[in-house]
Amino acid sequence: MPTASTSYYTKVQFLQRQAASLLLYQSVLQGEVGVAFLDLLQAIRYTDADARGCLQAYGTYFHALAARNQNWEDYLITQILISENPFTRLAQQREFKDLPPALVTAAQHDLQVLQSLYECSSASLSEWVQTVAHLPISPVVWYQELKEVGVGTRFTASLQHLENWGNAVEDLAAYYRQFGSGLFAEYRALRWQSGQFIGIRYSDPVKLSTLVGYESQRDALLKNTEFLLSGEMALHVLLYGSRGSGKSSLVKALLNEYSYHNLRLLEVAKSDLKDLPEIVEHLRGVSQKFIIFVDDLSFEEDDDAFKALKVVLEGNLTARPQNAVVYATSNRRHLIREFFVDRPAPKDNEEIHAWDTMQEKLSFSDRFGLTLTFEPADQKTYLKIVGHLAAQAEINIKPEDLEYQALQWATRHNGRSGRTARQFVDFLKADLALSSANNNTFDTQPEN
């Protein structure tokens, strides 16, 4: 079977051995780009007669980088920073001096291996493909100018000045201790689904600056969230009130306000609340702070989710982690549905203390340390929200016209609320933009 020239063959063989020797950071090469890189090395080393497999492998590698809009070097560093392995997990929980020596040595070894892979640039791979495929010119090299400057970029810059990446192991451990690893380092928003954490790449961009009308509730929630971020014991919070009043938006906006302070938002559906004790244990000991977000909360009779949430709110023999808190929204003050038939009558003989049972249901919401009430928006509040959103959207119409149309919209649609105000402003902005575009089109039509 034809092979590349001896020089390239030796280099490729060395890189393959290096990749195979990873002890902790195997996940770095298990993503689409990493697999494409290894497949390309294999294709270069054992190219077929017409080099078709080698060219296809290079195309797959190029496509994988382009799809992520990342250079090979940037991809490799990113994967190192988010890798989930015994070293990264323990580094979050212990000081560097307290880490097992064998674990530190293994991490140093892997960093040296990854340095050799980092130095195998896409340009080098392109030249090797040109040689083994006997091409007149080398294939196009994927390259993207790095624009974002963040913590990962600064860490990359520091590595570039090191002759031996193994010497960066203590700095890397400090990075994991501050910023975490795995999915929690890669994503700001996540959801619990089918027994696992799923990263949300495009979270709701709503910001606190767009939310008006419930300032006291907002301030209370901000203060409690800052308790969480500072390491103090924060309270579980129930946001209760009328539909469309901005309860969910307020919680989501916290992520955009504090994500750079290591805050993460974890969405848990009511159907998955039975897993809540397990979820909390997963979060224990990691670097990030978590808001466990439960939207539109209510329970039926004998709901298992009720019992799971009660354990997390009230605690049990297992100590509650200080880095996780539950924020739940509901349209119901009493979270468990109660029927008139549930109320005890003198003739009832099925339960001696039936009133105690009913009070247990009605007082469940009291188990949240903080309850924030969102009253229905009156006309003044509704128009205040509309005016604020219209100003942010740069809608330029007379205030009296804006108010008149806003009130007409509320009458014809969902009543006065923050949600209705947002829908009205979005519609008005689109309508004005379309009208302006149509007028410009007609103005530029040539005369016959």
352-368 pLDDT per residue, tens:
444 344 344 445 566 78
Quick one: 423 exposed, middle or buried, by C-beta within 10 A (0-12, 13-18, 19+)? middle
The pLDDT value recorded for residue 339 is 43
Q: 194 or 37: which carries more pLDDT confidence? A: 37
Q: 376 or 305: which carries more pLDDT confidence? A: 376
Instruction: Reduce the secondary structure of 167-235 to three states and give it as a string.
Output: HHHHHHHHHHHHHCCCHHHHCCEEEEECCEEEEECCCCCCCHHHCCCCHHHHHHHHHHHHHHHCCCCCC
Closest CA to 295 of 380, 225, 226, 238: 238
Closest CA to 81 of 184, 188, 191, 200: 184
User: For the chain, what is the mean pLDDT?
Assistant: 84
The pLDDT value recorded for residue 313 is 76
Q: Does residue 393 have a pLDDT over 90?
A: no
278-316 pLDDT per residue, tens:
898 899 888 899 999 998 887 555 556 666 777 777 766
313-345 pLDDT per residue, tens:
776 656 678 899 999 898 765 544 444 444 455
Q: 205 or 65: which carries more pLDDT confidence? A: 65
Domain boundaries, the chain: 6-186, 189-374, 379-443
Contact 298, 336 (CB under 8 A): yes
Token pair listed for 385: 């929200």
pLDDT classification of 117: cutoffs 50, 70, 90: very high
Q: Does residue 192 have a pLDDT over 90?
A: yes
CA distance 265 to 48: 50
The pLDDT value recorded for residue 34 is 97
Range of lowest pLDDT (46-50, 158-162, 163-167, 334-338): 334-338
Identity of the residue numbered 7: S
231-269 pLDDT per residue, tens:
898 999 999 887 777 888 899 999 999 988 889 999 998
Contact 378, 410 (CB under 8 A): no
Q: Does residue 169 have a pLDDT over 50?
A: yes
Q: Does residue 67 have a pLDDT over 50?
A: yes
The pLDDT value recorded for residue 49 is 76
Mean pLDDT, range 372-385, rounded to an integer: 86
Q: Does residue 210 have a pLDDT over 50?
A: yes
pLDDT classification of 220: cutoffs 50, 70, 90: very high
pLDDT classification of 411: cutoffs 50, 70, 90: confident
Yes or no: is domain 189-374 CATH 3.90.180.10? no
Residue with tokens 């070293």: 87
Q: 242 or 398: which carries more pLDDT confidence? A: 398
CA distance 173 to 64: 29
Q: How far is CA 14 from the centre of its chain?
A: 37
Mean pLDDT, range 188-197, rounded to an integer: 93
Q: 151 or 195: which carries more pLDDT confidence? A: 195
Q: Does residue 85 have a pLDDT over 50?
A: yes
Token pair listed for 429: 């902005």
Mean pLDDT, range 179-203, rounded to an integer: 91
The pLDDT value recorded for residue 361 is 46
